[in-house]
Every structure is written in structure tokens, then in C-alpha cells.
Amino acid sequence: MKTSNKPSQNLIAWRFILVCVMLVSVFVALIARAAYLQVIEPDKARAENMKRTVRMEKLHVQRGMIFDRNGKELAVSVPVVSVYVDPLALDKALKSRVLRQARKNGEDHVALADNALLLAERKQQLFQEQARWRELSDVLQLPAEQVNKKLRGNAKRRFVYLKRQVTPAVAKYIKQMRLPGIHLLDESKRFYPSGEIAAHILGVTNIDGIGIEGIEKRFDKALTGTEGLRTIRKDAQGREVQVLSEEERVEPEDIHLSIDLRIQTIAYRALKSAVLTYQATSGSAIVVDVHTGEILAMVNSPSFNPNDMSNAAPYKRRNRAITDLFEPGSTLKPLAILAGLDHGVIESDDVINTFPGWMRLGGSLVKDTRNHGEMTLREILKVSSNMGVAKISQLLPKDYLVGVYQKVGFGEDTGTLMIGESSGLFYPNRRWSDFEIATLSYGYAVSVSTAQVARLYATLGAGGISRPLTILKQDAPQPGNRLFKEEDVKAVVSMMESIFEKGGTASSIKVDGYRAAGKTGTSKKAVAGGYGDEYVGYFAGVAPASDPRLAVVVMVNEPGNDVYYGGDTAGPVFAEIVSNALRMLNVAPDKERVAYLSESKNDA
């Protein structure tokens, strides 16, 4: 009997057809899915691809440097590391650890994951049991409560600084701890090699590198630059395979100041010594190149260390040379004589009769310390006679004399462009009495900064040409305006040499190797209702007198003992700055005498 295999063959054919249908269906589904992703909704596929392969990298820029006129670094940026936490990543790590322990102990970890209160309690318990978080607090030298609050205070946050600008050793140790959610961030920190010597000029940046005082603030935009951005594609091994786009970074500018760090250092040390010696409240000094208007030194005492702001009280951080205002006293007497010469009411060889040493103007008294009788203009400056310049002021039209004080820069800033500079207190358009005009001639009825006095003396040193002061290095002298005839200015500068002669208000001061022309000044400080018992000592001048190169002004505020005259407190600082600064600049000496201090005392 023959057996039929027809059912078996049918079964095989059916199976073959089923497999073919399934394969065709799979391929159709794949083709349909590919068509859907690439034709109907391609943006989503591109977005997913971008997430996995495209990276954006910032091209960081360091903050620009600040140099002195000779290329010495005054402010530089150094690399530092900051420590921050990703609280969300830390919370996820703690959750994973808790669930893993629960699974290991045979607990229902799924139910635990759904129980938010119990899970939070377990995470906090685990966090407190781990000693490495306490170790992190110790390494950062921060209270544990403060660190724990940042780590666990808000688990939804992604970025919280733990500590900024840690040392490389601390950063390396934290990296080796391998703490979840703890990361290191490369940053930069501002460093000032000159420390407190140039602190008031340079200012400081905040912890984010933004200028908040001084030159750092004034030129913050130029010093900062702009970060660049690169968009790249990477393969599965993390290798860069394509640069998709690139935004060029804008490099920051470097700032070159007019300051000469050598002269700045000399001036600061001399001023600081005087402030300490005479127990003064404060002091300022400025050195100006009379040919260019460049400020070669600007110092204040007390000062602060910009590299450590923990002891930088606000009163130490004020740039007193441009902000603090005082009546400059007798330092303005050369200007009154120059005004008389310029207007033609006196000649350089005239004699002024100051007998009997006092006079009344509008019911108020103008007087000298004693009756000097008849004096030449040179002698008036030599002994600093109030009567002498007051008599000259009464010969001049009021509007003219007030106008002279206005055009030399009183009542306006000096042009330094520095943050916080004061314009002073001078009101030329008000009604002036005869007595006020007299007091104006010897440095009262006007309040000015040390920088404004320096601009006046730079004008004298430049032969009557006034230039704005500048804190930036100049490639060529700034354009100036001629205010006075050169012969009149030279005559007054020659007269100013007399204060160093025997009987002069600065006879105890000798400038080593150079002839100097200067003027002392001692003014009482104004208080409510009049003048108090505190004094301000000034010494202003130019050198060498034969061909002036530098104008130097020194101010000592509120000397704390019986020595308070400008010739005694500020004079030695002037002599030290001038003699050393001129040598630094290779200016040939115009006399051969050694500086010394005599025992004589002066009253101006």
C-alpha cells in the first residue's frame, strides 16, 4: 500500500510562505520607519544625532595685563581652580546607592523607590554616615554645616560653588577623592606683583574677574575681551571628526600706564615713612612729566594689598590724590604773582610794601606772622607772605583773577579719566568780596585735589603750557594750551628757588644734585562755622629749575604732633622723590650739593 506525503509538503509550503511574509513585513516596517524619520519627521532624527555627536567648546580668554611705561607687569591673571557641586547628580548617586543596598538586603527596592519620604530619609542617613563629606569640609577649610547646606540644600539645582580659587594642592586632593557630583572648574585670578605700592591706581577685580575699582574698572571692557565658541562633531571614541562652526574669540587688550614703577616705589616709600613719622591721618603724592602730562607716580598712604582684601577697609582703598579736597594754602601764591605779571599790574623786579604786616578788608583781617616791610616778589615767595600776594590781588580786576584760577583747571577734573576723580570746589561765577579775593591769592576760598595742584605745577614747569594729566602712556606729548607768557613763568619759577635759601620756608630741605623750584603750603582745615585745629601740609615744585622735567606735589593730612608745617612734613618727601626720580630718568644734575636736613624751622 502506497503512503501519500501531500500533507507534509503542504505544511512546508505554508511555513515557507509565513516566513517570507514575516521577513517582508519586517523589511517594510524598517523601510517605513526610515522613511518616516528621514522624510516625514527628519528634524527629530537630526536632533537626536546632534545630542550624541555634536559638542560646543568655549574658547576662553585670559584677562588682559596691565603694564607700567617700561613694560613691568602691574596686573596679571594666573590660573586657579574652583570647586562646585551638582546637587542633582549627588542626589541621584545617593538614591542609586540606597536602592542598591536595599536590593542587597532583600528589601523591596521598587516599593522603596516609590516611597518618597522613606527614600529621602535613607539618602540623608547615608550622606551623614559617609565620612568623606566631612573630609571635604576639612579640606576646603569651611564649616561642615555650610558645606552640607550647599550639597543637600536643594537637590534640583545643577550648579553651586563650594569654594572659589583654591590652591592646586587642594584641587588635586579633591580630584583624587572621586566624590559624586563634585567637580573642578578652571578659572583665573588677578595678581598684582607691586602689591600696595600701586593699589589705588590699579584697583581690583571681584571674584568673577570683573573690574570694580581703579584702572581695572575704567578699562574693564578692553581688558576682558570676548570668549570664542567652537561647534564640533565627535565619533563614538570621542575623537573630533568635523568642525561645524567657529566663532573667533576677541583677544583682550593690554593696558600700558604712564606710571614708572621705579618712581612709584620711591614715592610710596617716602610718603609712607612721612605719614608714620609725623603720625598723620593720610598723605598723597603725584609726580608728573611736565612735557607730556603723563603721571609717573600717584601714591597714597594708608594703602592696601589688592592680593589680600581681608584688611582692605574702605578708607584705605580711596584714591585720595584725586578724591580728597583741601584748601591748598600757600602753594597757590606763585599763581597770584603770575596773574599780576600776566595782567601787567606788576613787573618781576617790583617791590611790594607790606607794612605794617596786616590790613583790613571788609572788616576782616589779612596778616603775616610779622611785619616784613618792603619786599621783592622773590622775597614774598621766599618767606611766604600773605600780605604780599594779597596786595597784588587787590591790583587785579576780580573777574580776571578768578578767571586765572579757573583756566588753570580748578573746578574741573584733570583729565586722568580715573574713576572717582573730583572736580574740586570752586565757584567762579559768584560775587567775590575784596577779602575773599585776598584769601584766594594765598590758597583759601578754593578746595582742590592733589592732582589739580600737580596740574598747575606741571603748567609752570612747561613754561605756561597747560596739558590734561593722563594715566596712560603716550607715544607723543599731548596737545596743550598756552595760558601764560613763557618769560613770566620762567621768572616765577626762578623766584620759587628762593624758598630753599637761608631764611626761606624750605631752607632745611636740600635736593641732592639738582636745583629745585617749589613752594610750601600749610592750611588749616575747615570745620563747621570756621577753621579747626587740624592742618594740611603741602610741598609742590618743579625740577630741575634750570630746565624743568618733573612736577611733584606732596600732601600730608593732619600731622599728629607739633610739627605740621608743609616744609617740615612734606618737604623731605619732595626732596627724596625729586633727587631719585631724576636720576632714574637720567636727567643731568644742575648742581653738586648733597641733600641734608638742617635744624632750622619754618612757618609755612
CATH of the domain at 277: 3.40.710.10
What pLDDT, in 10s, does the model give residues 370-428? 999 999 999 999 999 999 999 999 999 999 999 999 999 999 999 998 999 999 999 99
Q: Based on the domain organization, do 148 and 287 belong to the same domain?
A: no
User: Are 147 and 265 found together in one domain?
Assistant: no
Helix axis angle, 144-152 to 116-129, nearest 10°:
150
Place 467 in a pLDDT band, splitting at 50, 70 and 90. Answer: very high
| Of the candidate ranges 121-125, 270-274, 278-282, 332-336, the one whose mean pLDDT is the lowest | 121-125
DSSP SS3 for 595: coil
362 part of a folded domain = yes
Phi, psi of 565 (to 5 degrees): -70, 145
Picking from 158, 185, 201, the residue at the C-terminal end of a domain is 158
- The whole-number pLDDT of residue 365 equals 94
330 catalytic residue (yes or no): yes
Any domain includes 283: yes
As a whole number of angstroms, the distance between CA 270 and CA 577 comes to 7
In the listed set 133, 158, 183, which residue is the last one of a domain according to the structure?
158
Check whether residue 268 and residue 402 sit in a common domain.
Answer: yes
Residues 554 and 412 in one domain: yes
In degrees to the nearest 10, what's the CA dihedral of 212, 216, 221, 222?
Answer: 180
Number of domains in the chain: 2
- Higher pLDDT, residue 95 or 561: 95
Cβ-in-10-Å burial (0-12, 13-18, 19+) of 360 comes to exposed
C-alpha span between 546 and 514 (Å, rounded): 9
Q: 147-172: buried (b, 16+ CB within 10 Å) or exposed (e) per residue?
A: bbebbbeebeeeebebbeebeeebbe
Of the given ranges (42-46, 116-120, 477-481, 581-585), which has the lowest mean pLDDT?
42-46
Per DSSP, 85 falls in state E
The catalytic position among 301, 330, 384, 523 is 330
Residues 349 and 490 in one domain: yes
Tens of pLDDT along 269-281? 999 999 999 999 9
pLDDT (average), residues 438-444 = 96
Residue 382 sits in which domain range?
A: 261-585
Three-state DSSP state, 29 = helix
Residue 298 domain flag: yes
Task: Summarize the confidence of residues 24-37 as an average pLDDT.
Answer: 82
Judgement on whether residues 536 and 419 belong to the same structural domain of the protein: yes
Higher pLDDT, 526 or 553: 553
Q: Starting from the edge strand earliest in sequence, which strands make up the sheet with 228-234, in order?
A: 54-59, 228-234, 240-247
For residue 27, pLDDT over 60 is answered with: yes
Task: Tell me if 111 is assigned to some domain.
Answer: yes
Q: How far is CA 400 from CA 283, 343, 395, 439, 591, in A?
A: 33, 8, 11, 15, 38
296 within a domain of the structure (yes/no): yes
pLDDT for 604: 55
pLDDT at 5 (0 to 100): 61
Which of 97, 131, 158 terminates a domain? The answer is: 158
Residues 151 and 274 in one domain: no
In a domain, residue 219? The reply is: no
Quick check: is 19 in a domain? no
Task: Indicate the pTM of the whole model.
Answer: 0.82
